[in-house]
Amino acid sequence: MSSNSTDDNVCAPDDNLCIVVQHMQGVIIVPTLLLLGTLVTLLALCILMYCPRRKRSRVTAPQRYHSSSHKQRHSQRRDLQGIDAPPGINPLEHEELPMSVQQVQQTRVVPTVAAVHQVSTERQHGAFSQVTALPVSFSIKPDDTVSLYRGRMDDRDVILRVLKESTDGSEKQHFLGFASFVSGLRSHPFLPQLLGVVSVQSPLTMVVEELQHKDLLGYLWRCREDNSGLESSFAMTEKRILTMAGQVASALEYLHSQGCIHGNVGARSVLVGGDLTAKLWGLGPAYRRRTQAASPGEVEDKEMRKWQAPEVLGRRSTIESSDVWSFGILLYEMVTLGDPPFAEINSTELLQHLQRGKHLKRPIRCSNSLYSVIRACCHWHSEQRLSVSELIRTLHEAEKSANGSKVLQASGPLDIGKYLHEAGYGEAYNYAVL
């Protein structure tokens, strides 16, 4: 008899406990071991499959973060695309550098500008120093969004046009848009040079070259004052008027070639350098006209009426010859050393005055040749006015024979209150002259 038969006979047929004990190894232990082995195998497979995936996630996670961060920065950069720099330059790509600001009358820390280089693509960073508050040279309506400062950058005097921290998003976009507009005009010898823009860090700042004698209107007023301290070489003569007027006309011709109508030509919008070079500024109305929907010929500021052409006063389309009319008013301001045009006429009655065939009266000390240029600019019919190119040629020809020794003098001292009234500004606005 086999051994199995022997084991089976050990237990009585009705002894179940004995039978279970006898078959424990085959019925319980072996299946249990097989089950444990299966579980261990599955666990090992899971570990092998999990570890490489975790390793891969550790590698790709930074990549995803980098991609997300890059997209976020790119999105922010699109929002800040306010500066249209010359080809090859993107001020938004320039890193920020700390500034050293000397403590003078007023200490203000302004971030370093990413210089907009006009010729080379080489980046230039300059630290501002000697930063002081700059009184507004000519301000009829105070600008509550911008502060002006004088400073030094790269061994030259600059004006910092700083956006105030209290401004909202739309005002920041307007500030950057204006900076982009000015930058897009590129460089011209008779336009103030935009030296740089801070656009990626508050406070947003435009950096423009400073011209020593500031605005032309203030300069003319200083020329008319006795004992002003101006040297004879800086006094106004008819020859100098024609020279400076030719420079402004050159800038105006360039703006027109860029599809830009200035719309704000006047002595207050011309800046004067140390060598009496005249540069045309006051581009705010031109930018607003380009970016804001307005009815044809709308006059943005009532205070500009006495400088505006009849078609603009009549709310018709503003055209290039409208700037020529205003240029004739500028010549009148220069030869009178800052007298207001149409002083005897209220600004609200000016259009009717011109419709009756009236025109600017000849100033006492104005030569026939210069007055003929003024009249040629201020024709009622726009098509009869000189074109800007004809104006430049006329000014150059007149300059050759103009008197360069006789110093112009005004009929009387300046009365600011009287000027504001006669110029149509009213008494409700602040006014400051350096």
CATH number of domain containing 170? 3.30.200.20
Which of 79, 54, 256 is CA-nearest to residue 176? 79
Q: In the prediction, which pLDDT does 128 show?
A: 61
Residues 225 and 126 in one domain: no
Which residues face 196 on adjacent strands?
115, 207
287-301 exposure pattern, b = at least 16 Cβ within 10 A, e = fewer: bbbeeeeeeebebee
Residues 204 and 224 in one domain: no
Amino acid identity for residue 315 in this structure:
R
Residues 385 and 286 in one domain: yes
> Two tokens at 81?
């695309």
Determine contact, residues 235/225, Cβ cutoff 8 Å. no
Residue 430 lies in a domain: no
Residue 378 lies in a domain: yes
Q: In the prediction, which pLDDT does 40 show?
A: 85
Domain with 386 in it: 214-423
pLDDT values of the chain reduced to their tens digit, one per residue, 434 residues: 444 444 455 677 777 677 767 666 566 777 788 888 888 888 888 888 766 544 444 444 434 434 444 444 444 333 333 333 333 333 333 333 333 333 333 334 444 444 443 433 222 334 466 676 766 555 555 567 888 888 888 888 899 999 998 888 899 999 999 999 999 998 999 999 999 898 888 889 999 999 999 999 999 998 887 545 455 667 899 999 999 999 999 999 999 999 999 999 999 999 999 999 999 999 988 998 888 755 454 545 667 899 999 999 998 888 999 999 999 999 999 999 999 999 999 998 999 999 999 999 999 889 999 999 999 999 999 999 999 999 999 999 999 999 988 899 887 778 888 998 899 875 444 444 33
Among 209, 244, 261, the domain boundary falls at 209
Residue 185 lies in a domain: yes
Residues 236 and 183 in one domain: no
Among 209, 240, 263, the domain boundary falls at 209
Find where tokens 């070489």 sit: 233
Residues 408 and 259 in one domain: yes
Rounded CA gap, 60 and 52, in Å?
Answer: 12
Rounded CA gap, 209 and 193, in Å?
Answer: 6
Q: In the prediction, which pLDDT does 47 show?
A: 84
- Domain count of the chain? 2
